[in-house]
Amino acid sequence: MIKTKLIDLKTLNYSDAWAKQQLLLEQLKEERRLGKHGANYLLLVEHPHVYTLGRNGDMQNMLIDAIQLKAKNAEFIKVDRGGDITYHGPGQLVAYPVIRLDMFETGIKEYIYRLEEVVIRTISKYGIKGERLKGAVGVWLDACTEKVRKICAIGIKCSGFVTMHGFALNVNTDLNYFNYINPCGFVDKGVTSIEKELNHTVDFDELKTSILHNFTKVFGMEFVCYLVTP
C-alpha cells in the first residue's frame, strides 16, 4: 500500500484548486530529485461553473461568448492539461491525484487506464455499466452504439513523473451546461450523469466513499491523512 494524503477541498473555484495542485506537483518533483520518498496526494473537489480548455484544445468548441458566460455565472479558463474543452460545476465530483508515477510503478497509459477503472468500478455500484471507447479517453455508457454518452472526462498533466489534474465524474450535475460546448471536442456523442441514468439524485458523500475505496483497490493507496479545506 502506498501512503497518500487525502485533501477534501469541498467547493473551491478552479483557479485556486489548480494553484494548490501546482504547488504540490513542484514539491513532489523536488522530493524525487533529492531521492526522498515523500508523500502523494489525492484532492477531491466540486467547482463552481467553469469551462476549461486543454493545451491542445480548439476554441471553436466553446459555443458561447464572454457575455453569455457571465449570464450563466460561468468562467472560461485555458489550462495546461491534455484534452479539449470540458465543463466543471456543482454536483460533479472532480478528483485530482498529485502522485509520483514511479512510486506507483506505472506509466501514463496505464495510469489513465487505472483512473478509468476507478470510475467504472464506482458507478457499477449504482448498476451503471461504464466502458472505454477506443480513441477517446474517459468513461462512457453504451460505447459501441448510437446512444454512446460520456459520464466521466479525464485530462491530465505529467511533469517529472508527477501527475496533476485528473477526472470529472458527473454525479448530480446540471447537464444543460454541456449544451454550450462541444464536450471534449465531440459533436456526435452525448453526455450523461449518474442522476440522469438513475432518474434520481444520489448521496454525494456516499459516492466519495466509494471513489476512495476504489482508489485503494486499483492504485493501492493507503489514506494516511484526511484534510478538509474550506
157-175: pLDDT as tens digits: 999 999 999 999 999 999 9
Within 1-62, where are the H helices? 14-33
Residue 185 predicted with pLDDT over 70: no
Identify which has the larger pLDDT, 230 or 45.
45
Q: Is 151:140 a contact under the CB 8 Å cutoff? A: yes
For residue 230, is pLDDT > 70? Answer: no
Confidence of residue 84 (pLDDT cuts 50, 70, 90): confident
What is the residue-wise DSSP string for 169-187?
EESS--GGGGGGB-GGG-S
Is residue 139 scored above 50 in pLDDT?
yes
As a whole number, the mean pLDDT across the chain is 92
Write down the domain spans for the chain: 2-228
Q: Which of 31-35, 44-48, 52-56 has the highest mean pLDDT?
A: 44-48
Question: What pLDDT is attached to residue 225?
Answer: 73
- Does residue 27 have a pLDDT over 80? yes
pLDDT class of 59 with cuts at 50, 70, 90:
confident
| Three cell numbers, residue 113 | 487506464
- Tell me the average pLDDT across 43-63: 90
The pTM (predicted TM-score) of the whole model is 0.93
Catalytic annotation present for 184: yes
Residue 189 clears pLDDT 90, i.e. is over it: no
Q: Identify the active-site residue in 144, 152, 158, 184.
A: 184
- Taking alpha carbons only, the member of 196, 210, 184 closest to residue 85 is 184
184 or 25: whose pLDDT is higher?
25
- Is the CATH number of domain 2-228 3.30.930.10? yes
Q: Is the predicted pLDDT of residue 219 greater than 80, yes or no?
A: yes
Q: Are 38 and 160 in contact (CB under 8 A)?
A: no
**pLDDT score of 71:** 85
pLDDT surpassing 80 at residue 226: no
Give the separation between CA 89 and CA 173, rounded to whole angstroms. 7
Percent of the chain exceeding pLDDT 90 equals: 74
Across 127-131, 132-136, 148-152, 188-192, least confident range? 188-192
Distance CA 65, CA 180 (A): 10
